[in-house]
Amino acid sequence: MNRRTFLARGAAVTGVAASAGLATGANAQDLAGQPWERVYGAGFTGYGQPSRFEQPVMRHIGRPYGDLAPGSGASLVPIESLDGIITPSGLHNIRSHSGTPDIDPKQHQLLLHGLVARPLMFSMDALWRYPMTTRTYFLECSGNSNRALAPQPAQVPAGAMHGNIACSEWTGVPLRMLLEEAGLLPQAKWLLAEGADSAHMSRSVPIEKAMDDAMIALYQNGERLRPEQGYPVRLLLPGWEGNMSVKWLRRIKLTEAPTYTKDETSKYTDLQPDGRALQFTFEMGVKSVITRPSSTMKLPRAGFYEISGIAWSGAGRIRRVEVSTDGGATWADATLTGEERPKSLVRFRLPWEWTGKEAVLQSRATDEKGQVQPTRTAWRAQYSPGNIYHNHSIVSWSVGADGSVKNVYV
Amino acid sequence: MSTFKRNSVVVAIAAAALAACAGQPPAPGQRPAFGAAVSANEIARWDISIPPSGAGLPAGSGDAKRGEAVYVAQCQACHGPKGAGKPADPLVGGAGSLATGKPMRTVGSFWPYATTLFDYTRRAMPLNKPLSLTNDEVYAVTAYVLYLNGIIRENAQMNAQTLPQVKMPNRDGFVNVSK
């Protein structure tokens, strides 16, 4: 290194020295400046995309039927790569039964009928005219974390096991407003919600939920819904198992009783050890997962790390998240962001000084109803080994002396 | 005084302009109502859900013999010979498995209502061409799957009257907790 280069680098690193009058008089081409600082940048684009260096941040796609039914399955959020509360719309989790339909909003209509005084048909132009509300809600598939029920802990990224959860800002029309326009008859105790996908996926919803916080969602994170999220209109049932928030909504029928569709009888019922199945377990349990550090990551050296993760409850607000670094022997309260929002993701954080010794990281959430996230052992004892729904038990990550982070059962 | 008058005129003009441009604000208690009336005939073309009572089941009928032909042509490629499964879900078997460590949930072992089988087959199957089977074909293939599971006889006619009366083996296998 010649003297001139040394001085130029010194000036770049120590601004104080430069401002103190020790500038070298180097020419511009010798000053600090990356290649992209020396060329004119890209022009405008109509719709922005993430940096090409973020291309590895992709959803974890599960296709149980392979090419036979490429749109049947789930696509999970890479929660291990994200921070904050809102999930980017393009990384939102997807659970689809017969792929994503290509819906023309000029042709799509929503029928509201059954036990109502006035059956009504809504065009999209009509729905877009209503007064809107905006809320932040999570959506979790009730099959989320079923991979964490495998006999042996899978060594895959956190999102590939626990990423069937996302959180968006949703804007739409309160369902109550449309139901009141149609006029509920006294016998109307349930409704059937049906999608315009080729499975016509349908679920029954009790009227109390429909009149409470159910939303006819039209916008997600400020823009109209993505096709994968139900464009142009979906039902949104805050805090309840995701598949009830029927996408591509085409029909709502008010009924006296549940319709007992395929997806509320043969699926989405929770098998117990005695062989009987619990039916209509709508609410998603209080839950949390540490996203960083998490499974398959490696801590390069001992020292400071922030333990960070997400927590949520279908019952309302998150009141507390505790973090353990010793497999549950001792716990410390994490700081929360977003805890004022009911049925939203909450971000929790805790500073941690890793000494370089083996550790087991866990998080445990408590909601405003006082419900506490159960241990994996306690949760499993309630169900048949074949039950794959509503696993909201504590997740454990081990940190080895070499810094490698693994999925473990504690 | 003259200033006051001038200002009043300006305010009045501005208010009139606002009313002309924005239309009248809704009166208190008035609600937006943009749904359009829809005829019973139109509703009938949309209403495809069948509850356990069988309400809404269409005319038509079919038995397992006719259903086998429908099954072989439309279903077998995914659900395997005689509903055995692979590559898609099996439709038969699993009786007695629900309380074991390896439960197998099929139409025969798990589904509580036969009406759901008709409803789902009509709305969603075959996967590559839903809403394509005739009502007779849906009744027939429903009968075939029920027959394969030993729930009905081979010559039993399934129709709007008989299908809701089929007692599924796991009809009482559900605990309603609604939470």
Alpha-carbon distance B155 to nearest alpha carbon in chain A (angstroms): 26
**Using the beta-carbon criterion (under 8 Å), do B127 and A118 form an inter-chain contact?**
no
Q: How far apart are CA A396 and CA A359, in angstroms?
A: 10
Is residue B82 within 8 Å of B17, Cβ to Cβ? no
Interval A289-335: pLDDT, tens: 999 999 999 999 999 999 999 999 999 999 999 999 999 999 999 99
The tokens for A314 are 């279908």
Q: How far apart are CA B137 and CA B141, in angstroms?
A: 6
Average pLDDT over residues A33-62: 97
- The interface residues of chain A toward chain B in range 115-154, judged by CB-CB distance below 8 A, are 118-123, 126-127, 129-131
Which of B57, B116, B133, B145 should be substituted to probe chain A, the one whose Cβ sees the most A Cβ atoms within 10 Å? Answer: B116
Within a domain: B65 = yes
Domain holding B90: CATH number? Answer: 1.10.760.10
Closest partner residue to A126 (CB to CB) among B34, B100, B119 is: B34
Closest partner residue to A112 (CB to CB) among B35, B88, B105 is: B35
Look at residue A10 and tell me whether its pLDDT is greater than 70.
Answer: no
Within a domain: B17 = no
Closest partner residue to A275 (CB to CB) among B34, B52, B98 is: B98
Contacts of B173 in chain A (CB under 8 A): 275-277
Within a domain: B37 = no
| Residue A5 pLDDT class (50, 70, 90 cuts) | very low
pLDDT attached to residue B7: 46
Listed by start position, the domains of chain A span 109-275, 287-408
pLDDT attached to residue B31: 86
Contacts of A386 in chain B (CB under 8 A): 101-103, 105
Domain interval for residue B73? 48-165
**Using the beta-carbon criterion (under 8 Å), do B46 and A202 form an inter-chain contact?**
no
User: DSSP string of A94-144?
Assistant: EEESS------TTT-EEEEEESBSS-EEEEHHHHTTS--EEEEEEEE-TTT
Number of domains in chain B: 1
Closest partner residue to B176 (CB to CB) among A97, A112, A280 is: A280
How do A335-337 and A346-354 pair as beta strands? antiparallel
Alpha-carbon distance B171 to nearest alpha carbon in chain A (angstroms): 10
Q: Which residue of A has its CA nearest to B97?
A: A275
Which of A68, A123, A260 should be substituted to probe chain B, the one whose Cβ sees the most B Cβ atoms within 10 Å? Answer: A260
| Residue A18 pLDDT class (50, 70, 90 cuts) | very low
Q: Where is average pLDDT lowest: A56-70, A225-239, B3-17, B59-73? A: B3-17
Alpha-carbon distance A194 to nearest alpha carbon in chain B (angstroms): 9
Is residue A362 within 8 Å of A395, Cβ to Cβ? yes
C-alpha pair distances (Å), A168 with each of A327, A343, A407: 32, 11, 27
CATH class of the A109-275 domain in this structure: alpha beta
Identify which of A251, A100, A234 has the alpha carbon closest to the alpha carbon of residue B45.
A251
Q: How far apart are CA A164 and CA A157, in angstroms?
A: 13
Contacts of B116 in chain A (CB under 8 A): 260-262, 265-266
ipTM: 0.90
Look at residue A259 and tell me whether its pLDDT is greater than 50.
Answer: yes
Within a domain: B92 = yes
Q: Where is average pLDDT lowest: A67-71, A310-314, A393-397, B8-12? A: B8-12
Higher pLDDT, B28 or A92: A92
pLDDT attached to residue A157: 98
User: DSSP string of chain B?
Assistant: -HHHHHHHHHHHHHHHHHHHHH-PPPPTT-----PEE--HHHHHHH-----TT-TTPPS-EE-HHHHHHHHHHHTHHHH-GGG--SSS---S--TT-TTSSS----TTTT---HHHHHHHHHHH-STTSTT-S-HHHHHHHHHHHHHHTTSS-TTPPEETTTGGG---TTTT-EEE---
Which of A63, A97, A98, A121 should be substituted to probe chain B, the one whose Cβ sees the most B Cβ atoms within 10 Å? Answer: A121
Q: How far apart are CA A289 and CA A287, in angstroms?
A: 7
Interval B115-156: pLDDT, tens: 999 999 999 999 999 999 999 999 999 999 999 999 999 999
Interval A125-167: pLDDT, tens: 999 999 999 999 999 999 999 999 999 999 999 999 999 999 9
Count of CB pairs separated by less than 8 Å, A with B = 158
pLDDT attached to residue A22: 58
- CATH number for A287-408: choose from 3.40.5.10, 2.60.40.650, 3.40.50.10440, 1.20.1260.10: 2.60.40.650
Look at residue A14 and tell me whether its pLDDT is greater than 60.
Answer: no
The tokens for A76 are 């999970």
Within a domain: B13 = no
pLDDT attached to residue B136: 98
